[in-house]
C-alpha cells in the first residue's frame, strides 16, 4: 500500500512523463515541418517511449492500492530557432527528469517504501541512458552548427544512432 506522500510524488512524476511525451511530440512535429524526417522519426519514437514511462507509473500506482492521477498538462514549446536549440532543450529536459526521479528515490527511502524504491531503479538506469544519448546528439549537432550538408547527413545518421543504442540497451532511448 502506498503512503499518501509517495502516491502524490508518483502522481507528480506521471505528469512529468506525460509532459515529456508532449515536449518530444512537439519537437517531432517541428522537425517534420522543417523537412528533417530522420530527426522527426527519432522524436516521435521518444514521445512514444515517454508515454510508456508514464503508463508504467500509472500501473504501479494502481497496483499498489493508489489512484493514478491523469491531469492537465503544460503546453510544450512548439517552435525553435535551430536544431541546436532544440537538442539543447532536449538534454536540459532529461536532466530535469533525472532530478525529479532522484527526488522520488529520496522520498521512497525516507518513507521506507522499499517496493517503490526497487521499482524506481528502472527509471534511474533509464535516465543514465537517456542523458547519455542526449549528450551524444548535442555534441554532434554542436559540431555541425549551421552547416546544411552536415545537418542532412545527421538526419540520415540519427536513425542509426537510435538503432545502435537500442541494440546495446534494449528499450533505451531518450
Residues 6 or more apart whose Cβ sits within 8 Å of residue 139: none
Task: Give the interface size with ligand FEO as a residue count (CB under 6 A).
Answer: 8
* 130 near ligand FEO (CB under 6 A): yes
d(CA 53, CA 61): 13
In whole angstroms, the minimum distance from the beta carbon of 65 to ligand FEO comes to 24
Q: What is the DSSP string of 94-131?
A: HHHHHHHHHHHHHHHHHTT-HHHHHHHHHHHHHHHHHH
Q: What angle do CA 95, 96, 98 make, to 5 degrees?
A: 65
Residues in the chain, how many?
174
* 20 near ligand FEO (CB under 6 A): yes
Per-residue contact flags (x/-) with ligand FEO for residues 155 to 174, judged by CB under 6 A: -------------------x
* Interactions with ligand FEO, residue window 91-120 (CB under 6 A): 94, 97
**53 vs 151 by CB, closer to ligand FEO:** 53
Distance from CA of residue 59 to its chain's centroid? 18
Per-residue contact flags (x/-) with ligand FEO for residues 23 to 62, judged by CB under 6 A: ---------------------------x--x---------
In the complex, the residues that contact ligand FEO under the rule CB under 6 A are 17, 20, 50, 53, 94, 97, 130, 174
Amino acid at each position: 500500500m502506498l503512503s499518501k506522500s509517495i502516491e502524490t510524488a508518483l502522481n507528480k512524476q506521471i505528469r512529468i512523463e506525460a509532459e515529456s511525451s508532449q515536449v518530444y511530440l512537439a519537437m517531432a512535429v517541428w522537425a517534420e515541418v522543417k523537412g528533417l524526417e530522420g530527426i522527426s522519426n527519432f522524436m516521435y519514437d521518444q514521445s512514444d517511449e515517454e508515454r510508456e514511462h508514464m503508463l508504467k507509473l500509472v500501473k504501479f500506482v494502481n497496483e499498489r492500492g493508489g489512484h493514478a492521477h491523469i491531469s492537465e498538462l503544460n503546453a510544450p514549446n512548439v517552435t525553435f530557432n535551430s536544431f541546436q536549440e532544440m537538442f539543447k532543450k532536449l538534454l536540459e529536459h532529461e536532466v530535469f527528469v533525472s532530478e525529479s526521479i532522484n527526488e522520488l528515490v529520496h522520498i521512497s527511502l525516507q518513507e521506507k517504501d522499499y517496493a517503490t524504491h526497487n521499482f524506481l531503479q528502472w527509471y534511474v538506469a533509464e535516465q543514465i541512458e537517456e542523458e547519455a544519448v542526449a549528450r551524444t546528439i548535442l555534441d554532434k549537432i554542436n559540431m555541425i552548427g549551421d552547416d546544411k550538408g552536415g545537418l542532412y547527413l545527421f538526419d540520415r545518421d540519427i536513425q542509426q544512432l537510435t538503432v545502435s543504442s537500442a541494440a546495446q540497451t534494449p528499450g533505451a532511448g531518450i
